[in-house]
Amino acid sequence: MFKNMFHKSNAAAPQGPVEFIVAGLGNPGREYENTRHNAGFVTIDRFAEKHNVQINRLKYKALCGECTAGGKRVLLMKPQTFMNNSGQSVTQAMSFYKIPPERVIILLDDISLEPGRLRIRRKGSDGGQNGLKNIIYLSGKDTFPRVKIGIGAKPNPGWDLAKWVLSRFTPDEQKLLLEAADKACVALELIIGGDIDRAMNLYNS
């Protein structure tokens, strides 16, 4: 249904001013690759791949790339500040491009959702996610659209939360994560194109 949303064949440089920022949250470094907390990194990499662009330029304390999505020029970001300081990177880019929070989409992990599920919100609190908490704190706003990617709850209450979010997905969960990332990519196109309500109707769990 949404095949024509992505244009991989022609990765010409986006034209005009940056109108949207998409920030996938995670932790940099090999030791954190494919951990639950890096679901935002996995998802934004998937989005970049569909647009045939790379996120490899270091700017605003982040690895960055650009694409055209929903008819808009979009800055893609993977903050390299570590999760808890994500706001340092995101707010720097917002300030440079003069982008309001309503046009900054955050991709983040959510322990309250099972792997494979998404939840899209127009705005709201951080829900206990430290990366989003830092973005809200440094910007003074909570009106960031966000796409939450399920990583599953702790197996039992006794588990340390920090260790859980830094653990890796099982092979079956990894497959579900990639399926959710693909859905999130379609949701991003809709949100950037001005139809967040449709994205929520399609994918909210």
Catalytic residues: 37
Exposure b/e, 25-61, CB count within 10 A at least 16 = b: bbbbeeebeebbbbbbbbbbbbbbebbebebeeeebb
Confirm if 161 and 154 have CB atoms less than 8 A apart. yes
Q: How many CB atoms lie within 10 A of CB 122?
A: 14
Nearest Cα residue to 46 out of 185, 191, 203, 186? 185
Q: Residues in the chain, how many?
A: 205
